[in-house]
């Protein structure tokens, strides 16, 4: 059979990791989902795949990541005369990046008690923030570039000298600590949460309207469905006829037969267009809204909370509502209030 049906489903992937090897693996998984080339993932394929994305300027895939740096007063010299305190450092850095903060999605918080601040961004945010600082504020660029190069050598240049007057302790904030901070104070907004959704193209179009989140989606331009067959998302009216465990219909009632017939007609058009030489990116024109798509979506707590408030609502489409409800349940299971 060339036409299959599956349910809308949600797969929470947890927090974006903070250790380089895992960062690269997550980005590779998301990127390869676009081309459906997950079978090409090997033990050490991630680094070259991510560098290829970076060199080609496909930076949106690099957004599925999060590097949170904690910058703390160094007792051996941070507050010495002539050297800016960590608070002064924080304030002047914020002033410099403020005008670009929304675009680069940097997230900063000052922690008075510990004479420290955190600054977090996804990889794309860091790459673009560093480019900006390189033009506008060289010493900040050197300082942040030095520490990022030390911790993420695959992605950032190593070897930049530290400016003489910037002696602070710099460490990565691990995922568990980010979550703990968020539980205590939602304004910290430090972790990035990643989900994989299986849903139809109509719903992915609604999801990608949430501009503060990041997306990588199965591509109908690059994937050729000719041999795979066409998978559709189960429409509401077939819900009660579908056996989830077997992935088949329990009955072949008139609605099921009608949906099959529609799917087969459409898929025949697609196949005949491919057979007469059209590329998948052109043949896709006849594929329906209900076509199954895989999409990775990531973002900070504030972005997800906004998503839930708009999409787990009576006004929302039932299938995006189903997704939003599961996302809400996931956050509640982490002890994060969603209302
Ligand atoms: C029930 C429902 C019905 C809908 N119907 C339609 C419809 O008929 N037609 C239609 O086109 N859309 C429709 N939408 C989509 C809707 O208009 C939004 O695009 C979508 O819900 C994303 O919401 P958002 O813009 O608040 O989120 P995000 O894009 O995630 O924005 C979140 C926040 O980021 C900031 N932000 C992001 N980008 C910018 C920017 N460029 N400038 C300024 N601030 C920014 C704002 O502070 C904003 O509050 C519908 C949505 C819902 C929930």
> Tens digit of pLDDT for each residue in 109-150?
888 888 899 999 999 999 999 998 998 888 889 899 999 999
Rounded Cα distance between 159 and 286, Å, is 52
So what's the pLDDT on residue 43?
92
In the chain, ranges of CATH 3.30.1360.170 domains? 3-16+192-333
For the stretch 282-315, pLDDT in tens is 999 999 999 999 999 999 999 999 999 999 999 9
Strand partners, 232: 5, 291
> Is 21 marked active-site?
no
For the stretch 203-221, pLDDT in tens is 999 999 999 999 999 988 8
Q: Which residue has the tokens 């070259």?
A: 48
Q: Which residue has the tokens 């050197």?
A: 142
Instruction: Output the six-digit token pair for 290.
Output: 């209900």
The protein residue with its alpha carbon nearest to ligand 1, atom 49, reads 306
Contact 122, 64 (CB under 8 A): yes
So what's the pLDDT on residue 82?
67
Percent of residues in the chain assigned helix, strand, coil, to nearest 5: 50, 20, 30
Give the CATH fold of the 3-16+192-333 domain.
Gyrase A; domain 2 (3.30.1360)
Q: Is 316 in the pocket of ligand 1 (CB under 6 A)?
A: yes
The protein residue with its alpha carbon nearest to ligand 1, atom 38, reads 211
For the stretch 171-201, pLDDT in tens is 999 999 999 999 998 888 999 999 999 999 9
So what's the pLDDT on residue 259?
95
The protein residue with its alpha carbon nearest to ligand 1, atom 5, reads 316
Strand partners, 197: 10, 295
Q: 131 CA distance to ligand 1 centroid (A)?
A: 29
For the stretch 66-112, pLDDT in tens is 999 999 987 665 455 667 888 988 998 888 887 666 666 788 888 88
Interval 38-64 mean pLDDT: 94
Q: Which member of 260, 311, 319, 328 is catalytic?
A: 311
Q: 209 CA distance to ligand 1 centroid (A)?
A: 6
Interval 244-249 mean pLDDT: 87
So what's the pLDDT on residue 79?
52
Q: 299 CA distance to ligand 1 centroid (A)?
A: 15
Q: At what angle do helices 46-55 and 20-35 cross, to 10 degrees?
A: 70
So what's the pLDDT on residue 250?
93
Residue 285: what are its φ and ψ, rounded to 5°?
-55, -25
- Alpha-helical (H) ranges within 174-279 are 175-184, 201-207, 254-275
Q: 304 CA distance to ligand 1 centroid (A)?
A: 13
So what's the pLDDT on residue 160?
63
Rounded Cα distance between 73 and 168, Å, is 5
Q: How far is CA 85 from the centre of its chain?
A: 35
Of 50 and 245, more confident: 50
Residue 114: what are its φ and ψ, rounded to 5°?
-105, 10
So what's the pLDDT on residue 81?
62
Q: Is 211 in the pocket of ligand 1 (CB under 6 A)?
A: yes
Rounded Cα distance between 62 and 121, Å, is 11
Dihedral sign from CA coordinates of 113, 125, 178, 164: negative
So what's the pLDDT on residue 118?
94
Q: Is 209 in the pocket of ligand 1 (CB under 6 A)?
A: yes
Rounded Cα distance between 81 and 330, Å, is 49
Mean pLDDT for the chain? 91
So what's the pLDDT on residue 56?
93
So what's the pLDDT on residue 52?
95
pLDDT above 70 for 277? yes
């Amino acid at each position: 059979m060339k036409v299959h049906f599956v349910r809308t489903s949600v797969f929470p992937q947890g927090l974006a990791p903070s250790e380089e090897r895992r960062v690269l693996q997550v980005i590779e998984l998301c990127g390869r989902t676009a081309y459906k080339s997950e079978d090409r993932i090997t033990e050490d394929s991630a680094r070259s795949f991510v560098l290829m994305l970076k060199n080609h300027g496909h930076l949106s895939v690099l957004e599925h990541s999060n590097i949170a740096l904690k910058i703390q007063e160094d007792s051996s010299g941070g507050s010495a005369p002539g050297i800016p305190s960590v608070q002064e450092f924080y304030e002047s850095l914020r002033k410099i990046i403020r005008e670009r903060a929304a675009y680069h999605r940097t997230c900063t918080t000052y922690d008075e008690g510990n004479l420290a601040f955190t600054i977090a961004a996804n990889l794309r945010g860091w790459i673009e923030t560093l480019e900006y600082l390189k033009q506008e504020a060289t010493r900040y660029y050197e300082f942040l570039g030095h520490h990022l190069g030390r911790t993420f050598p695959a992605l950032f240049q190593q070897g930049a000298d530290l400016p003489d007057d910037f002696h602070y302790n710099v460490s990565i904030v691990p995922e568990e600590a980010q979550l703990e901070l968020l539980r205590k104070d939602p304004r910290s907004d430090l972790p990035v949460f990643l989900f994989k959704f299986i849903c139809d193209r109509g719903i992915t179009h609604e999801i990608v309207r949430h501009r503060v989140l990041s997306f990588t989606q199965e591509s109908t331009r690059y994937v050729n469905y000719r041999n795979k067959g066409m998978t559709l998302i189960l429409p509401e009216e077939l819900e009660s006829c579908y056996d989830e465990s077997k992935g088949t219909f329990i009955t072949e009632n008139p609605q099921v037969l009608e949906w099959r017939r529609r799917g087969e007609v459409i898929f025949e058009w697609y196949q005949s267009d491919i057979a007469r030489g059209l590329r998948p990116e052109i043949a896709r024109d006849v594929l329906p809204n209900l076509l199954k798509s895989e999409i990775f979506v990531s973002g900070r707590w504030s972005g997800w909370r906004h998503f839930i408030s708009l999409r787990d609502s009576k006004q929302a489409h039932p299938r995006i509502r189903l997704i939003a409800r599961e996302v809400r349940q996931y956050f509640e299971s982490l002890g994060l209030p969603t209302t």
